[in-house]
């Protein structure tokens, strides 16, 4: 199937893996520590995740555009984006991406790790997006 034959979701998922150089992982691991639940890094398993920002995507089902609201380091952005080119974790609806940084495996360079929530029909899907370690 070529790009002209592929639908928007297929184009985005194929481009997303190569252009954005990120991998996805659906296993979200938690650990109990002193009566608190700690989210663990999908790359190294550390509980040292720091919050960087969040992106929220408001999109009517299969609409050509999405409203993207994002915050990062005291900056706020609000814009309408092409739904096929957006970083929305949902192929057809609303989505949220919580951007994190791992103190244990991200090194000196801030490499975002994203915990994503995606609308898929009546279900909400939870997954990770992050660059592989060798980038």
- pLDDT digit string, tens, across residues 11-55: 333 333 333 456 777 788 999 999 999 999 998 899 999 999 999
Residues contacting 34, CB < 8 A, separation 6+: none
Q: What is the mean pLDDT of residues 109-122?
A: 84
- Amino acid 63: pLDDT: 87
**More confident site: 3 or 133:** 133
* 36 token code pair: 């608190």
Cβ(115)–Cβ(15) below 8 Å: no
* pTM as predicted: 0.76
């Amino acid at each position: 199937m070529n790009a002209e034959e592929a639908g928007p979701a297929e184009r985005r998922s194929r481009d997303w893996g190569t252009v954005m150089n990120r991998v996805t992982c659906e296993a979200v691991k938690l650990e109990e520590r002193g009566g608190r639940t700690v989210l663990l890094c999908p790359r190294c398993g550390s509980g040292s995740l720091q919050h960087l920002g969040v992106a929220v995507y408001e999109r009517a089902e299969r609409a050509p555009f999405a409203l993207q609201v994002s915050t990062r380091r005291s900056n706020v952005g609000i814009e309408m984006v092409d739904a096929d080119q957006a970083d929305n974790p949902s192929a057809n609806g609303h989505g949220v991406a919580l951007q994190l940084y791992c103190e244990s495996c991200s090194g000196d360079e801030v490499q975002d790790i994203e915990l994503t929530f995606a609308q898929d029909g009546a279900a909400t899907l939870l997954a990770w997006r992050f660059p592989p370690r060798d980038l």
